[in-house]
């Protein structure tokens, strides 16, 4: 047997090995080596069946070749030199015989090769495992529409930006929400996705933000155990149905809140302003619902359906869903309560500072919104769906009627001056005005219900920027100027019920406090007393009413779109900001003991309600009493009844908050 010293090729030799002529033609040292080695000269490239002596000859070699012998073509000749000690002889051989290298490898070599292959396989398995293993602080869930990678911090998990409906673009603009497109891979859910299109502040010159591909929701949970069956709070953000999102700082859930309260929280975006609530005859014609508008409410229902299908994988119980809404989110709550489309999707509801008025018909809204259509210059649906986001937002009648910006809603009303409808009774989401649904015993959700407001609602954005510097004469002038449009006697009656001698927690700002309380009673507090009363009459489930009377330890640090004014009293959103543990950030200073007690108090009672469907024994049902929330809970019967009676008797409930 011979092995080539260059390519390690092996040949089986019956006699001597010979070197190829190509090496014999090379100069020394190869030539010298062959001359000194008369017994072993072999082929460099292939290894060959060596030639024997001249006496044996080519015929003998051919006879002894195995059946594997290779017959070289006639044109190829391989020259082998056999040198005996006494003679020179040349011989031509046309046969070569190959043997697999594995037959001659040592056991050590085979073992090393096997170990190398095994090492590579182990490395491949490890790298595959690492690719699927989540880094620290991350986690993963599988929903009915794909897998999502979330985060873990502050004792809870969060999953942000999960699509619950298809992007409402192209033909889906101004159409009911469609099912989301499911992903086959793992989608990252580590941050909030785009808000829905809007302007901030609410004007034609406002800053445009958001994208139409915005129907995402977010989940916070203390556990991913499907057997936990925790209560679920679905948060519906406010913003006039025109702005904000489900991920606003200090105005949405957090990991810490989920960990501390042992509840699952869900927030979501829904279509806003013209994208979510535009009613036009052009859009109604040919639509699958035979109507238009209220697309934002349809989005909310789609989000609640997603919760029913998927919340169990986040440790939540779909049978223990409570909807929380603030401002227009509160309006959304009692809209959903009176919509047949939302029945069975939640078991309890909390309306924080929602609207009282929701009774515009589809025809009324379509007529009012012709101002929008005129600004667009469109005459058909194709043109409307071809408009850019900016073109649509700029065409909204923000200031002229129907005055979507609602600038007057934080002022005392002026007789005959109303804001046009955004939400409406469309015959699909709402078959009738909510109060009619209750009174006529139509189809609605009979669930435990909380109605809450704050004592100085309008102070978050008062009508006069200098209200903090008003004198009592300024206060008297403003009240008289507005209310005398209803009757000559009304201003004096109002000033008697809201006197300058009323208690004031500060040395200044007191005229502004009285004005804010009066305007809030007209716009929010008294109408919502009536709303709670109508609910209590219609529902077999318990109804509760609260009024926040707590005054924070300092003014609001007015740096956000949510709170643009340095409010000093019980401002709009004080309750929900405190529940979300954002009060310290909003005030821009450490909380006082009273602030801490108020924050703990409202959290405790709302968690109790979401967990059990009722308040504890210290909080009676309405209309037996109203809970007054400050650093402690006080119970009042017929709170502010004389003031509310004044506004009812003068028909001012029709000027309550709308939209």
Q: Which pLDDT value is given to residue 608? A: 98
% of the chain surpassing 70 pLDDT: 82
Taking residues 156-168, report their average pLDDT: 98
pLDDT > 70? residue 242: yes
CATH number assigned to the domain comprising residue 604: 3.40.50.1820
Task: Kindly state whether residue 376 falls inside one of the protein's structural domains.
Answer: no
Give yes or no for residue 51 having a pLDDT over 50: no
pLDDT tens, position by position, 74-110: 444 444 444 444 444 444 444 455 555 555 566 777 7
Average model confidence (pLDDT) across the chain: 86
Token pair of 404, please?
């979507």
Mean pLDDT of 525-542: 98
Confidence band (pLDDT; 50, 70, 90) for 66?
A: very low
Average pLDDT of the residues in 175-181? 97
Name the nearest CA neighbour of 385 among 376, 394, 375, 374.
Answer: 376
DSSP per residue over 5-63, as a string?
Answer: TTT--EE--SS-EEE-HHHHTS-TTHHHHHHH-TTEEE-SSS-------TTTHHHHHHH
Confirm whether 274 is domain-assigned: no
Tens-digit pLDDT profile for residues 474-498: 999 999 999 999 999 999 999 999 9
Task: Transcribe 462-516 into DSSP letters.
Answer: -S-TTGGG--HHHHHHHHHHHHTTT-SSHHHHHHHHS-TTS--SSSS-HHHHHHH
In order, the DSSP letters of 56-100 are: THHHHHHHH--TT-EE--TT--EEEEEE-SS-EEEEEE-EE-B--
User: What's the pLDDT at 482?
Assistant: 96
pLDDT band at 112 (very low <50, low <70, confident <90, very high): confident
Average pLDDT over residues 431-451: 97
Residue 296 within a domain: no
80, 228, 396, 492, 519 from 549: Cα distances, Å: 113, 36, 36, 25, 15
Q: Is the pLDDT of residue 364 over 60?
A: yes
Give the pLDDT of residue 445. 98
Q: What is the pLDDT of residue 558?
A: 84
Q: Is the pLDDT of residue 562 over 60?
A: yes
DSSP helix/strand/coil, 278: coil
Q: What is the 3-state secondary structure (H, E, C) of 554-610?
A: CCCCCCCCCCCCCCCCCCCCHHHHHHCCCHHHHHCCCCCHHHHHHHHHHHHHHHHHH
Chain centroid, CA 378 distance in Å? 33
Whether residue 259 has pLDDT greater than 50: yes
Q: Using pLDDT thresholds of 50, 70 and 90, give the confidence band for residue 301.
A: very high
Residue 639 tokens, joined? 């709170």
Give a yes or no: residue 258 inside a domain. Answer: no
pLDDT at position 178 over 50: yes
pLDDT band of residue 582 (cuts 50, 70, 90) is very high
pLDDT of residue 97: 53
Q: Is 378 inside any structural domain?
A: no
pLDDT(429) > 80: yes
On the question of pLDDT at 559 being above 90, the answer is no
How does pLDDT run across 277-286, given as a tens digit for each residue? Answer: 999 999 999 8
Mode of pairing for the β-strands spanning 449-454 and 543-548: parallel
Query: Which stretch of 32-41, 451-460, 494-503, 575-584 has the lowest confidence by average pLDDT?
Result: 32-41
Q: Is pLDDT above 60 for 302?
A: yes
Q: Region 417-429: what's the mean pLDDT?
A: 94
Count of the separate structural domains present in the chain:
1
462 falls within a domain: yes
Overall average pLDDT of the 143-172 stretch: 97
**Structural domain boundaries, residue 642:** 450-649
What single string gives the DSSP state of each residue in 323-356?
A: EEEETHHHHHHHHHHT-GGGTTS-SEEEEES--S
pTM for this one? Answer: 0.80
Output DSSP code: residue 444. Answer: -
Report pLDDT digits (tens) over 304-349: 999 999 999 999 999 999 999 999 999 999 999 999 999 999 999 9
**Comparing 56 with 623, which gets the higher pLDDT?**
623
Q: What tens digit of pLDDT does each residue of 6-23 get? A: 444 444 444 444 444 443
- At 53, is the pLDDT very low, low, confident or very high (cuts 50, 70, 90)? very low
Task: Inform me whether the pLDDT recorded for 585 exceeds 60.
Answer: yes
What's the confidence (pLDDT) of residue 115?
A: 81
Q: Does residue 498 belong to any structural domain of this protein?
A: yes
pLDDT category of residue 73 using cuts at 50, 70 and 90: very low
What is the predicted pLDDT for the residue at 35?
40
Would you state the pLDDT for residue 124? 63
- What is d(CA 393, CA 406) in angstroms, rounded to the nearest whole number? 15
Q: Would residue 536 count as lying in a domain?
A: yes
């Amino acid at each position: 047997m011979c092995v080539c010293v260059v390519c390690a090729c092996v040949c089986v030799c019956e006699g001597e090995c010979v070197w190829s002529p190509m090496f014999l033609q090379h100069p020394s040292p190869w030539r010298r080596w062959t001359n000194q080695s008369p017994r072993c000269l072999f082929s460099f490239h292939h290894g060959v069946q060596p030639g024997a002596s001249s006496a044996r000859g080519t015929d003998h070699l051919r006879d002894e070749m195995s059946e594997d012998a290779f017959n070289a073509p006639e044109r190829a000749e391989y020259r082998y030199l056999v040198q005996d000690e006494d003679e020179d002889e040349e011989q031509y051989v046309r046969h070569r015989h190959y043997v697999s290298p594995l037959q001659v490898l040592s056991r050590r070599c085979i073992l090393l090769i096997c170990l190398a292959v095994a090492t590579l396989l182990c490395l491949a398995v490890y790298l595959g495992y690492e690719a699927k293993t989540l880094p620290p602080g991350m986690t993963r869930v599988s929903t009915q529409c794909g897998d999502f990678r979330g985060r873990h911090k502050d004792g809870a998990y969060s999953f942000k930006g999960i699509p619950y409906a298809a992007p409402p673009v192209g033909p889906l603009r101004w159409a009911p929400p469609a099912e989301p497109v499911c992903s086959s891979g793992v989608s990252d859910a580590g941050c909030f996705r785009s808000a829905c299109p809007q302007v901030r502040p609410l004007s034609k010159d406002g800053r445009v933000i958001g994208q139409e591909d915005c129907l995402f929701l977010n989940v916070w949970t203390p556990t991913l155990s499907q057997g936990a069956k925790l209560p679920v709070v679905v948060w519906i953000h406010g913003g006039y149905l025109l702005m904000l999102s489900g991920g606003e700082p200090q105005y949405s859930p957090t990991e810490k809140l989920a960990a501390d309260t042992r509840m699952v929280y869900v927030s979501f975006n829904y279509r806003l302003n013209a994208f979510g609530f535009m009613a036009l005859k052009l859009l109604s014609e040919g639509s699958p619902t035979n109507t238009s508008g209220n697309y934002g409410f349809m989005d909310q229902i789609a989000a609640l359906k997603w919760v029913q299908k998927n919340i169990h994988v986040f440790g939540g119980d779909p049978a223990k869903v409570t909807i929380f809404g603030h401002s227009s989110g509160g309006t959304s709550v009692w809209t959903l309560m009176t919509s047949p489309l939302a029945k069975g999707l939640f078991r309890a509801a909390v309306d924080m500072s929602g609207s009282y008025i929701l009774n515009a018909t589809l025809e009324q809204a379509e007529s009012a919104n012709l101002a929008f259509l005129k600004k667009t210059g469109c005459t058909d649906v194709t043109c409307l769906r071809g408009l850019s986001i900016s073109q649509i937002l700029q065409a909204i009648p923000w200031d002229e009627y129907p005055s979507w910006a609602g600038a007057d809603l934080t002022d005392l009303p002026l007789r005959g001056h109303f804001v046009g409808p955004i939400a409406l009774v469309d015959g699909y989401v709402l078959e009738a005005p909510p109060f009619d649904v209750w009174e006529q015993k139509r189809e609605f959700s009979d669930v435990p219900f909380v109605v809450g407001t704050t004592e100085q609602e309008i102070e978050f954005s008062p009508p006069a920027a200098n209200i903090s510097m008003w004198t009592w004469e300024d206060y008297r002038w403003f009240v008289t100027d507005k209310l005398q449009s209803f009757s000559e006697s009304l201003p004096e009656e109002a000033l008697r019920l809201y006197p300058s001698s009323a208690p004031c927690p500060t040395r200044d700002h007191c005229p502004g406090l009285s004005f804010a309380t009066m305007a809030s009673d007209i716009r929010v507090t008294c109408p919502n007393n009536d709303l709670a009363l109508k609910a209590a009459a219609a529902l077999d489930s318990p109804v509760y009413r609260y009024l926040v009377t707590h005054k924070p330890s300092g003014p609001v640090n007015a740096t956000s779109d949510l709170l643009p004014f340095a409010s000093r009293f019980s401002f709009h959103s004080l309750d929900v900001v405190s529940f979300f543990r954002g009060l310290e950030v909003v005030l821009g200073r450490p909380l006082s003991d009273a602030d801490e007690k108020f924050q703990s108090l409202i959290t405790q009672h709302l968690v109790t309600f979401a967990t059990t469907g009722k308040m504890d024994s210290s909080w009676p049902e309405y209309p037996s009493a109203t809970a007054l929330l400050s650093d402690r809970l006080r119970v009042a019967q017929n709170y502010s009844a004389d003031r509310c009676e004044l506004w009812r008797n003068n028909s001012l409930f029709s000027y309550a908050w709308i939209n």
